[in-house]
Structure 1
Amino acid sequence: MMKPILFYGVPSGCSFGSIVALEWLGRPYRLCRVEMPGEAGSDAYRRINPLAETPTLLTAGGETLSESMAILNHIAAQGLEAQLGYPQGSPDFDRLNQMLAFLNTTFFGAFAPLWHALEHEMRDAEKQVLLDYGREAVAKAHRQLEMMLADRPWLLGAQRSVADAYFIGIARWAEYLQVVDRSDYPNLQRLYNKLEQDPAVIFAHAIEQQRPVVGGGGFAGEVPLAEALPAR
């Protein structure tokens, strides 16, 4: 069996959460850096992800898996003992998928207009409409997640899960896009601060910023895209 390879996107890709989850899992894996949007749209990368999106996981069995929710569930299934995930069919599994779905649609989706305005040329009036819509959507998503988290230590309760890994990868966009003040949401700020001190999150930041890394998990090095692609 080969070591899995996670193709992660920079700058500030949502694949950040999958890096954190792999570190928490602690099993051997490698990383492949994909610059967005240029390299992600290349013919080479489209061989494993025709949608030209990150992340993509090349599994230990040589299969490719895309979409963060699917990749995180794949990681969680291997981390049941550490409660990164839960057995399929259990109430906890349903709660995890409910939270991942919220993060994937409402929380992630709220930022989409802001990313579009940042990455595309358009008339000032059109851009302002997108910015106003996106800021309200992000604020609403934060209000909703603030209420869902309440005073629990982690998104699902007493134990961290892949949902928390996914959350931190998206939540940091608030600063990147200068959209909301997280201190207005004390429960989310508390969770964010705790995660930012986690060694796996510190590791993922260092990976993205190409700083020296000290992995506490199973990180087995980076591999260039040309070498990471499976044989035709």
Structure 2
Amino acid sequence: MPTTTLFYGVPSGCSFGSIVALEWLGEPYRLSRIEMPEIVTSDAYRRINPIGETPTLIDAQGNFLSESQAIMNHIGARGIAGKLGFAQDTRDFDRLNQMLGYLNTSFFSAFAPLWYALEHGVQGAELEALTRYGAAEVRNVHAELEAMLGDRPWLLGEHRTVADAYFIGIARWTKYHAVLNREDYPNLQRLYNQLEANPAVRFAHAVERQAPAQSQGGFQGHVTLGEVLAQL
């Protein structure tokens, strides 16, 4: 593998945040588009990730890494000079890992009942129950994260980190699940608006839409799943 390759899921996978983080890192990387659920569950993709999920990253040495939190920590470790991440055995690293853990569990999982209802065509009483439960969970995690953010410009403080990249990939899911008004959470709305205006986030949106995308990082183009498999 000549460069890092990230397999990202569409439509609207949480792997969006990994694209943003790679853009911020600035090192050379390629992308491989994986349609969900068709391709991500295929035997071909399971050669990359046996669990059949995105994102998955193959580094320049050919090592495989899956799970968003692990990928974000990997990118953060490569981006310490730019304060995307921090050295282990420091208070800042612990704070970052704690925030990534919250985003990867509580914030992500809050949307699970809503996604299940949407993707499985649930109707009637089951739909009502899942929607009521999911809406309560999503509002709860927004309130918690609102309090954690406070008046800081970024989730960890004065500098953006990989946690902010991961946040925007999940926070945008409210466009599918209209269960809250983000303006009721002014700190999160401010962070959301700031990220949506960021060139790396605009680039990731364009990539997902297959629209002309202008990278300000190290993007070196797309590669197909078949091309990657041929190199393994």
Correspondence for 1:72: 72
> Which amino acid in 2 is paired with 1:134?
G
Corresponding residue number in structure 1 for 2:135: 135
Q: Which amino acid aligns with 1:176?
A: Y
SS in 2 for 1:21: helix
| AA at the equivalent of 1:142 | H
Alpha-carbon distance in structure 1 between the residues aligned to 2:31 and 2:231: 17
**Cα displacement (A) at 1:122:** 3.4
Structure 2 equivalent of residue 201 of structure 1: 201
For 1:229, what is the secondary structure of its paired residue? helix
Q: By how many angstroms is 1:229 displaced?
A: 2.5
The CA distance in 2 between the partners of 1:10 and 1:221, in whole Å, is 17
What is the 5 A alignment of 1:1-232? 2-229=2-229, 231-232=231-232
CA–CA separation in structure 1 for the residues paired with 2:202 and 2:122:
36
Aligned partners of 2:128 and 2:39: how far apart in 1?
29
1:65 is paired with a residue whose SS is strand
1:166-222 per-position Cα deviation (integer Å, ceiling 9, x unaligned): 000000001122221100000000000000000000000000000001100000000
TM-score, normalised relative to structure 2: 0.98
**Aligned-residue offset at 1:126:** 1.0
Structure 1 CA distance for aligned equivalents of residues 178 and 12 of structure 2: 14
| Structure-2 separation of matches of 1:125 and 1:116 | 14
Structure 1: distance between partners of 2:128 and 2:12:
23
* Percent of pairs with identical residues: 64
Which amino acid is the alignment partner of residue 73 of structure 1? N
TM-score normalised to structure 1 length:
0.98
Please identify, of 220-229 and 189-198, the stretch whose mean Cα deviation from structure 2 is larger: 220-229
RMSD: 1.0
* Cα distance in 2, alignment partners of residues 20 and 154 from structure 1: 15
Aligned partners of 1:220, 1:123: CA distance in 2, in Å?
Answer: 44
Q: Distance in 2 between matches of 1:179 and 1:31?
A: 32
1:113-170 CA deviation, whole Å, 9 max, x = no partner?
1111111143421121111100000000000000000000000000100000000000
How far apart are 1:10 and its partner, in Å? 0.4
2:86 & 2:76 partners in 1: Cα distance? 7
Q: Distance in 2 between matches of 1:91 and 1:230?
A: 43
**Structure 1: gaps (5+ residues):** none
Separation of aligned partners in 2, 1:53 and 1:179: 26
